[in-house]
């Protein structure tokens, strides 16, 4: 079993790597500290042990999604000092197989690595209940978002997504290669359909909606 460990706390990462490297069945442990390094090396490993918060500005969730797309056979186990059940639920929804806190026992970490390698999902005991509740809430939110989007035309969905990316009405018109008048018409219809009152409110709503999806 080959393990890639990504954590920007070097002392912690090296200590974990040294411990894992002497465990039976673990052939190799590499340590990196950035998302870009993960994406360069992740196809050569079986397990990615990943910090949730990286000082480079990348989040563990961004990395989980990228790995799921580029190396779907790699099992991702998140290891964090911030036990956030919503983050755990989002990570699992994106394809992660486990979520542990950094204060777990070393033996529990080894056991989790082996279990996710076997296809199991592992969650820190204290987070099981909160994570299940967060997953239920997330699923309901996604269903609600899908219902909202079903009420919009494809063009209106596109306008809403661009609003969520921070584009102005003029920029949206340029991106879609339509006139400012047409872009304004799409926006006005969006506000009516979604019972919103301003472009700013629509932009905030779009960010929340597409994050849920």
pLDDT in tens, 27-62: 999 999 988 999 999 999 999 999 988 776 677 888
Same domain, 62 and 111: yes
CA atoms within 13 A on the CB side of 202: 26
Same domain, 108 and 7: yes
- What residues make up the domain containing 187? 151-212
Q: Specify whether 97 is located in the same domain as 164.
A: no
Supply the pTM of this predicted model: 0.64
Beta pairing partners, 28: 2
Last residue of a domain, one of 67, 97, 131: 131
Strands lying side by side in the sheet with 122-123: 28-32, 2-6, 47-51, 75-80, 98-101, 122-123
Residues 40 and 122 in one domain: yes
CATH number for the domain that contains residue 94: 3.40.50.2300
Mean pLDDT of 195-206: 75
- Looking at residue 188, what is its pLDDT? 87
Say if 145 falls within a structural domain: no
* Same domain, yes or no: 155 and 122: no
On the question of pLDDT at 140 being above 70, the answer is no
DSSP for 117-141 reads HTT--EE-GGGHHHHHHHHHHHHHH
Domain identity same for 33 and 124:
yes
Q: How many domains does the chain have?
A: 2
């Amino acid at each position: 079993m080959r393990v890639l460990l990504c954590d920007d706390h070097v002392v912690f990462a090296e200590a974990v790597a040294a411990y894992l490297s002497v465990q039976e069945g673990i052939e190799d442990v590499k340590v990196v500290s950035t998302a870009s390094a993960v994406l360069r090396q992740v196809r050569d490993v079986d397990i990615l042990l990943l910090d949730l918060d990286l000082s480079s500005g990348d989040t563990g969730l961004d990395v989980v999604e990228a790995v799921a797309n580029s190396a779907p056979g790699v099992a991702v186990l998140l290891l964090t000092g911030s036990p956030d059940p919503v983050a755990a639920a989002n990570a699992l929804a994106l394809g992660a197989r486990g979520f542990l806190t950094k204060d777990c026992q070393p033996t529990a970490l080894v056991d989790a690595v082996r279990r996710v390698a076997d296809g199991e999902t592992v969650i820190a005991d204290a987070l099981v209940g909160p994570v299940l509740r967060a997953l239920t809430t997330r699923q309901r939110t996604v269903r609600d978002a899908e219902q909202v989007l079903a009420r919009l035309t494809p063009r209106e969905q596109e306008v809403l997504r661009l609003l969520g990316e921070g584009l102005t009405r003029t920029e949206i018109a340029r991106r879609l290669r339509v006139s400012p008048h047409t872009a304004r018409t799409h926006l006005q219809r969006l506000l009516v359909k979604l019972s919103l009152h301003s472009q700013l409110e629509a932009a905030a709503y779009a960010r929340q909606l597409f994050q849920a999806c």
